[in-house]
Amino acid sequence: MDRIRICDLLVRCILGINENERREKQDVVINLTIHTDLHKAGKSDRIEDTVDYRALKKRILSMAEGSQYLLVEALAEAVAELCLDQQGVQQVDVCVEKPHALRFARSVAVEITRKR
Mind telling me the catalytic residues? 98
Whether the CB-CB separation of 95 and 80 falls below 8 Å is answered with: no
Paired residues of 6 in beta bridges:
32
Nearest 10 degrees: Cα torsion 7, 13, 18, 22: 180
Residue pair 32/94 in contact (Cβ under 8 Å)? The answer is yes
Degrees to nearest 5, angle at CA 50 with 90 and 5: 65
What order of strands is seen across the sheet that includes strand 91-99?
A: 68-69, 2-15, 26-36, 91-99, 107-115
